[in-house]
Structure 1
């Protein structure tokens, strides 16, 4: 296992954050992940030749700051070039199927946050301008949710190694190539400008228009300084923000997903003018009802995310149990708050309203990707192109 953790630390340093000499890295970690945080900090200090600071937290509150020094004496270190941040996410801290009082959940922000249902805070004047990343760390509770009660620690690490491609050097090249592929897809889709997107599944169909002055996002991120990084891994999806009043049709979940500690299975939604007007589910409808009661926009269709159906993530993550993986697992339709990385020129609250973006305290990604999914784009110039068939991107449709 020690070798796997060392490989994972290398992946974070060399591929995800792309650390270089002079970077000042800060690592946020709870007590449960401090051992890995120390390993990551030690390897990062060798790469940056600067002090790496571990910010030890307890339920988000700072407990201590632990400096990890590089080998060189301070006089021989390079000048500090800038800040880099990361947060180690303990996958076992997620409550999964822990029951909660659905009657009060909608009124408690801490409960919504605990289940990963809070939307991004809309701070348009405080967007992060430095490389940053969320670094998941696996545990037995996470593995048992996916692999069943007979799963061993060896099974857990085999799954995690597969997802992150850290078994050999090819995995490092894979994520760079994947970043290039998603960058190409974003470029081609953004060249089409604002489109109406039509998704057709097994006995359902829905259409929606991209929000004004937004772009497709996802995959590798690039700062104004042209420095690139991955804020999370794995990456498979690209996503578009929607005009919050434009969606119309029906859609059905293609695999189970979790809401407030309950499994939602076989969910079907009817949408008019961007808002869910009817919904049903084989299981978990009460949890959806509780989530939708948070505010008037919790039932609004805000985003479409597209990911190939034939990926490792799609095959191994058969149910959406942790929000970190929800968008990368398969194609999704998001209800609730929008993603800030789709924005372009928006600087004020009025700009958000002008683009008809959905502002809600909460958001939930509903998986819809499977071998029946097809996606068509209708451009403002009247042209039409198929970009996904049988759940797979059609690269010729992007040309």
Structure 2
């Protein structure tokens, strides 16, 4: 692999992804197959003046062994030292980077869906404060990807290599530019221009229409679309996702009606799903079926009531480099930035103009903001998708035609 390219990419994620400041610390989550990039991120962090870096290993094969050998009560237990770590991370303003587990999802033993759901719920409850601060953008965080041989062969074919995958990712991550950091700053300006135009429409609802979807979702008057870089409380900017192509917002949890169908595979509880058809009435999933993954969707919807309501909807123009590649990446990071999507579960209070003032579940719900232990994105866009916006004044405006934004 090209070590110079890897270092350039790591510097981009550290300096723009989380905008790491001198004497701040960094936590990195990786699977075994992408550990090489976690090391590169740690080194890049120290070049940027980091105080500490800590790499956490998320090994799905080890997870499978835990699920096979522990009962429900054991799965609910979390080590005390993680509570101390969560406290330090929140109080000291650590950055957080997660490398998408594209390699490791292709190399692990079978995961027990029911037990995995129990474990995932327990972890979210245990670290609720940390998750809340990340969702509210009070800590810098970034999800990125790193190619490996298994992922390369899955996406590009049996003869593909990690280097081949890097060649595909270079234009997507703007690593083919002379100065990738400057290129991302320029890209962010364009996203912000679209964001401004979208919010000036004062959208009350969106109607999605395609051969597999007929769906309407509504918004509270406090909802706003955001995208690209985000702001921390100290006004520092960071990129929650690299790459980033979406404009997203928090819809009203009670205003979703009709049916909508996923158009790309989605990993739910570390299990692949395909062609999920979701039917909503007054914001709630009243029926669902999946071509692949019905069992795991049963487990997902049993976690809490919030999983059956929408926490996010995102608009993505299908002329972007990820969509133009014509590839299915089986990575939520890349696939969600190639296509319009919704998320079931927890919503982003930061997408409400008054989000910082809301702290309790009751307050969040009163402004349509959903709450849940989970947040999973489902891609629903395609080149056949049309979207009509209805403004608060009752005017209808077509904002997407055949998968392309019109503004």
For this structure pair, what is the TM-score category when the shorter chain's length is used for normalisation? 0.7 to 0.9
Local SS of the residue matching 2:142: strand
Which residue does 2:300 correspond to in 1? 291
Q: Relative to structure 1, is the Cα distance of residues 250 and 112 closer, same or farther in structure 2, using a 3 angstrom cutoff?
A: farther
CA distance in 2, matches of 1:56, 1:111: 22
- The range that moved more, 305-314 or 88-97, is 88-97
Which residue does 1:16 correspond to in 2? 17
Q: Relative to structure 1, is the Cα distance of residues 137 and 368 closer, same or farther in structure 2, using a 3 angstrom cutoff?
A: same
CA distance in 1, matches of 2:266, 2:134: 33
> Does structure 1 conserve the Cα–Cα contact (< 8 Å) formed by 2:136 and 2:350?
no
Q: Relative to structure 1, is the Cα distance of residues 245 and 40 closer, same or farther in structure 2, using a 3 angstrom cutoff?
A: closer
Which residue does 1:267 correspond to in 2? 276
Q: Relative to structure 1, is the Cα distance of residues 100 and 36 closer, same or farther in structure 2, using a 3 angstrom cutoff?
A: closer
- The range that moved more, 128-137 or 330-339, is 128-137
Local SS of the residue matching 2:176: coil
2:344 is aligned with 1:335: yes
Please identify the structure whose Cα radius of gyration is greater. 1
CA distance in 2, matches of 1:18, 1:124: 17
Which residue does 1:214 correspond to in 2? 223
> Does structure 1 conserve the Cα–Cα contact (< 8 Å) formed by 2:134 and 2:141?
no
Aligned residues, how many? 370
List gaps (5 residues or longer) in structure 2: 60-78, 83-91
Query: What are the residue-to-residue correspondences of 1:1-399 with 2, within 5 Å?
Result: 1-18=2-19, 22=22, 24-28=24-28, 32=32, 36-37=37-38, 39-46=40-47, 48=48, 50-59=49-58, 85-89=95-99, 91-92=101-102, 94-96=104-106, 99-109=110-120, 123=132, 127-169=136-178, 171-193=180-202, 195-316=204-325, 318-319=327-328, 321-343=330-352, 344=355, 345-395=357-407
How many Å apart are 1:235 and its aligned residue? 0.3
Q: Deviations over 1:83-125 (max 9, x none)?
A: 6624252635643585323344433327998xxxx99976379
CA RMSD of aligned residues (A): 3.4
> Does structure 2 conserve the Cα–Cα contact (< 8 Å) formed by 1:217 and 1:239?
yes
- The range that moved more, 305-314 or 138-147, is 138-147
Local SS of the residue matching 2:226: coil
Q: Relative to structure 1, is the Cα distance of residues 88 and 170 closer, same or farther in structure 2, using a 3 angstrom cutoff?
A: same
CA distance in 2, matches of 1:149, 1:111: 38
TM-score norm. by structure 1 comes to: 0.79
CA distance in 2, matches of 1:171, 1:246: 40
CA distance in 2, matches of 1:120, 1:197: 32
List gaps (5 residues or longer) in structure 1: 64-81
Local SS of the residue matching 1:123: helix
Local SS of the residue matching 1:106: helix
